Chains A and B, each alone.
Chain A
């Protein structure tokens, strides 16, 4: 018998014993209708957006709420420009500007939810970097020093200030992970009161299984990277982005 079968048959044999102190023979699965929603949030889209902003800000992230996608587009450009200036000011060297300051690690245009963004970035002088294969050493090296990443999200949860980023195709995982600053674009149609509400919608639409399997990596992100490992001192930006900024906008859907 191989290891797998040995382990499984041992477990089966143990669980057949009548006097086993644990687990109780009558143990039943937690029924979906019983399962609690842990953190609550309610209200219309704007109320939810405000709650999201409040939660994310409490985690040292930041947020802007905008009424339309074109306003969001302007906000993205302004934010990127401001970040670039901040980076250069931080360097305190005579020639503070670096070529990668103008790079933004992006998801493809069709997935960014904001129409006309690529052209607008280009007009401002920003370069969109959309890697196609990060195991290619050249592409890998190309993204190493990029300081800003832009992605959209699968969903966002107002109650905890979290958003979910997917992967697969040209949705690089790196865009929300390796840069120092991450800009998350969240249309109101992707904003849910809670994680539980999002899961319930996906489940009832029969899309939950496919959502997990197609996005080979699905990450729930709640604020900027941090650690308190050094005697409880909170430090930000350990491996993931130190700066997380969400732009929420009313896309008029739903």
Chain B
């Protein structure tokens, strides 16, 4: 079943909860990735690694403009063409222009959250280009016409049988349940595309300021392909993805791999420092780097800068009890899980656009413990809730309720009287309905729709205390 990501939030969640395949697939995969991460971080001084990567990245954000300028200077020195994009529209326009100017009609892409964020595929397709996703998981969901549902494992929501159906339906593959056969078919199909494409596009896991180097991390090798085979290579990077030195890059690389998939290192870390030089056997003739803001500088200004430390490993998704139940699509944005619940609203021009997401959490704190850069996600989620209230985006009824609660709680007499009333009436109602309260009128019906409501204690603490003293 495919979740309509444009449906209202509650409908998306209902659809996800009703899909047993999705829940089975997501919980199996997230448990596996969490076990792998715990083993990998436990095998080393994991806490030191987390603290050091955080320190390094926090410093970058403190000196952010300087590092951006250093990166830009070094990219240019290496012969890269640097573009700056404020938002979705101009980023799309920049990439589209590069493609059209170079006469590229086929584009191969390596998995990238930044390009998902700017809906690049759609824009390029509208301009008449053919865009092929080459990460195996992304390729499958592109065939199935769905968005990714996890930051590092885009097709996590599908079971093997469902993926086999996609291969049968879209690629005329003879029925099989063997993942290796599906992979071999994808390899053959995509190999042709790599050789024919006029342009390759990737995101950027991190860019090294001191050398002007774009690093992309993959296990399959598609990152190397898109940055090496076509004549033109475009990297779209969020402006926060900077590390100062090569050694910092290597440190972050290891934190990323261990946290994302539990590997010591991913199979490929491909570091590009400019286009091919005269006499080189291969490599792109042009390397373009698009530095994308799209709300990041605003995030810093609005007090959500800590979320800019994120290295997109997906560890917080894997441990989140909410993500495990509903998967990625129910979040409705490009980013999902706890980090998505923070950055989808924080990146948007109005946080109210994603006003439900800060509530899509139990605030259990598992995400904070898993995060390789120690982002305090529960606190950021509470900050967002508070901002939503201040902006008047919270439901009116909630506001009235809180005001009433404040009045009752600030007067002992009123508290005791209302407590007595609640106790008598709830116990009466509970006795009539045979023990617990199974139905309450709106807005409290939201509670009783899923669980019983226990009546208040028949006696208040004060009454009970008084009686004991008298005995």
A contact residues vs B (CB 8 Å cutoff): 2-4, 6-8, 10-12, 14-15, 17, 20-25, 27-30, 32, 34-36, 38-39, 55, 59, 130-135, 140, 144, 159-160, 162, 167-174, 177-178, 195-196, 199-200, 203, 208-209, 212-213, 215-233, 235-241
Contact = CB atoms under 8 A, between A and B. Distances in A.
A236 to B, nearest CB: 8
Contacts of A224: 267
Contacts of B222: 238-239
A23 B61 contact: yes
A232 B1 CA distance: 20
Contact of A230 (B85, B182, B267, B281): B182
25 contacts: A2-B84, A3-B84, A7-B293, A11-B297, A15-B65, A22-B305, A23-B59, A29-B244, A30-B59, A36-B45, A36-B48, A36-B52, A38-B44, A38-B254, A55-B264, A133-B281, A135-B231, A162-B265, A173-B228, A174-B281, A199-B250, A217-B270, A231-B163, A232-B29, A238-B183
B300 interface: yes
Interface residues of B, number: 105
Contact of A177 (B228, B244, B246, B293): B228
Interface in B154-187: 154-155, 158-160, 163, 179-180, 182-184, 186-187
Interface string B279-316: 11111010000010100010011011110000000000
B52 A34 contact: yes
Contact of A20 (B219, B225, B267, B303): B303
Contacts of B282: 131, 133-135, 167, 172-174
B159 A231 contact: yes
A2 B83 CA distance: 11
A230 B183 contact: yes
Q: Which of A59, A174, A219, A237 has the most CB of B within 10 A?
A: A219
Given A140-B195, A171-B281, A230 B179 contact: yes
B136 A167 contact: no
Given A36-B251, A213-B274, A11 B179 contact: no
B56 interface: yes
Interface of chain A: mostly helix, strand, loop or mixed: loop
B254 A219 contact: no
Contact of A232 (B32, B58, B187, B267): B32
B293 A14 contact: no
Interface in B103-153: 134-137, 140, 153
Given A22-B306, A231-B160, A216 B273 contact: yes
A222 B250 CA distance: 14
A39 B25 contact: no
Given A38-B44, A216-B280, A237 B183 contact: yes
Nearest to B208: A212
